[in-house]
Amino acid sequence: MAIREKKRKIILKVLPFISVISLFVGWQLVVTLDIIPNALLASPIQVAKMLIYKLTHAQPDGFVLWVHTVVSLKEALLGYFLALIIGIPLGMLMGWFKPVEGLAGPIFEMLRPMPAIAWIPLTIFWFGIGLTGKVFIIFLSGLVACVINSYTGVKMTNPTLIRMARTYGATNWEIFFKICVPSSLPMVFGGLQVALAACWTTLVAAEMIAADSGLGFMITMGRRLIKTDLIMLGMVMVGLTGVVISVIIDKIETRLIAGVRR
């Protein structure tokens, strides 16, 4: 049984690598066998060559790869953290305090169905195509997930714990900070992952519409220049960067929740 368990653990660790390798092999075969013409889809080898080239060359889009990546990260993280700073406390307060829900709830429900991308034309008028405008759009896209998950996390607090705390004379604020906030953390971190995906997706869309640098801008330039290898490189960098940030959030969540449970 122990040997089978070890084999199972090894297989589970190897599976992600097999999955990724299979993806790239299948992608290469699709192009090599001309299932999709090379003019419409660059192969992984071509994308790798473009990656090496873009590490030291600014052409054909005006910046080397790391500049595009840093610009996108700066814009995405600023908007993302702004959404966390405002959205998480707002959602928690709405979930516990009825007056806050009464004041902020209707406004939030009106804004929630509006996609952040719909704000791009107005944002260009207000802030131009610089950093501030893109941060504002990213903030809007991440805010919804932060508020909803934080609100739901507080609402899912075990009512038995709340009743017990009231029996011992705890105030509303004490119950909120000592019971509701810790118990809502799993839902909050789930919201962080959803908000990250929304922010990163919206950033690329915003950069493709109005920007002069960033990964989305690089993808747009690849389209204008009909260079599929540049387009695919931008897409791959977007995916890899998003995975790295997601893994970091997972690590923080594991340590923080473990510390709260202790």
What pLDDT was estimated at residue 58?
87
CA dihedral 71, 77, 146, 87 (to 10 degrees): -110
d(CA 194, CA 142): 8
Whole-prediction pTM:
0.81
Lowest-pLDDT choice from 18-27, 207-216, 236-245: 207-216
pLDDT band at residue 196 using 50, 70 and 90 as cut-offs: confident
d(CA 201, CA 177): 33
**pLDDT tens digits, residue range 148-159?**
999 999 999 888
Q: Is 2's pLDDT higher than 70?
A: no
**pLDDT tens digits, residue range 32-64?**
998 888 888 999 999 999 999 999 988 888 889
Encoded amino acid at 146, one letter: C
d(CA 208, CA 206): 5
Phi, psi of 138 (to 5 degrees): -65, -40
Mean pLDDT computed over 207-220:
81
Mean pLDDT computed over 76-83:
91
Q: What is the CATH number of domain 42-261?
A: 1.10.3720.10
The per-residue DSSP string of 75-116 comes to HHHHHHHHHHHHHHHHHHHHHH-HHHHHHHHHHHHHHTTS-G
Q: Is 29's pLDDT higher than 80?
A: yes
What pLDDT was estimated at residue 259?
56
